[in-house]
C-alpha cells in the first residue's frame, strides 16, 4: 500500500459554468505571482490547440475563471486570492505566454 498525503493547499477556481468552485490540489508555495501565472496558463490551455480545448468546445465558450483562491487545508483560511480584472480581453485564436 502506498502512503496517502493531504496537500498543504487547495485551489478553488470559480468560473461562469458552475455555482460551486472547481477544487484542485495546489503544490508548492502559495504566492500571488504563481497563482496569476497558473490562471493565465490555464486560460491559454482553453484555446484551440490547448490541452483543455475540449472543455471550451463542450460549453461552446471559454470558461475563463473570474476568481481563484488558495486555501490552507489545516486552518481553512485563504492564503492568496486572485480576481479577474474588470476588462480582460482574450483572443481565442492566439496562443501566448501572457494575456497582458
Mean pLDDT of 69-73: 97
Evaluate whether residue 25 is within a structural domain.
Answer: yes
The pLDDT assigned to 28 comes to 93
Those residues whose C-beta lies under 8 Å from the C-beta of residue 67, and which sit 6 or more positions away, are 14, 81, 82, 83, 84
Evaluate whether residue 62 is within a structural domain.
Answer: yes
Evaluate whether residue 66 is within a structural domain.
Answer: yes
The pLDDT assigned to 37 comes to 94
Q: Express each pLDDT in 2-59 by its tens digit.
A: 888 889 999 999 998 777 899 999 999 999 999 999 999 999 999 988 999 999 999 8
- Confidence bin at 93 (pLDDT 50/70/90): low
What is the rounded CA–CA span in Å between residue 60 and residue 47? 12
What is the rounded CA–CA span in Å between residue 73 and residue 75? 6
Q: Is the pLDDT of residue 99 over 50?
A: no
Beta carbons within 10 angstroms of residue 58's beta carbon: 10
Q: What is the pTM (predicted TM-score) of this model?
A: 0.82
Residue numbers of the domain that contains 65: 9-83
Beta carbons within 10 angstroms of residue 59's beta carbon: 13
Domain count, the chain: 1
Evaluate whether residue 37 is within a structural domain.
Answer: yes
- Confidence bin at 69 (pLDDT 50/70/90): very high
Evaluate whether residue 75 is within a structural domain.
Answer: yes
Q: How far apart are the first and last CA of the chain?
A: 46
Q: Residue 70 forms beta bridges with which residues?
A: 11, 80
Evaluate whether residue 3 is within a structural domain.
Answer: no
- DSSP code for 72: E
Those residues whose C-beta lies under 8 Å from the C-beta of residue 84, and which sit 6 or more positions away, are 64, 65, 66, 67
Q: Is the pLDDT of residue 100 over 70?
A: no
Evaluate whether residue 41 is within a structural domain.
Answer: yes
Evaluate whether residue 99 is within a structural domain.
Answer: no
Amino acid at each position: 500500500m502506498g502512503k496517502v498525503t493531504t496537500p498543504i493547499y487547495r485551489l478553488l477556481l470559480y468560473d461562469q459554468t458552475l455555482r460551486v468552485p472547481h477544487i484542485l490540489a495546489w503544490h508548492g508555495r502559495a504566492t500571488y505571482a504563481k497563482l496569476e501565472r497558473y490562471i493565465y496558463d490555464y486560460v491559454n490551455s482553453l484555446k484551440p490547440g490547448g490541452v483543455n480545448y475540449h472543455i471550451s468546445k463542450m460549453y461552446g465558450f471559454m470558461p475563463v475563471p473570474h476568481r481563484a483562491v488558495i486555501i490552507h487545508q489545516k486552518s481553512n483560511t485563504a492564503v492568496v486570492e486572485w480576481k479577474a480584472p474588470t476588462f480582460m480581453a482574450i483572443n481565442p485564436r492566439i496562443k501566448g505566454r501572457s494575456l497582458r
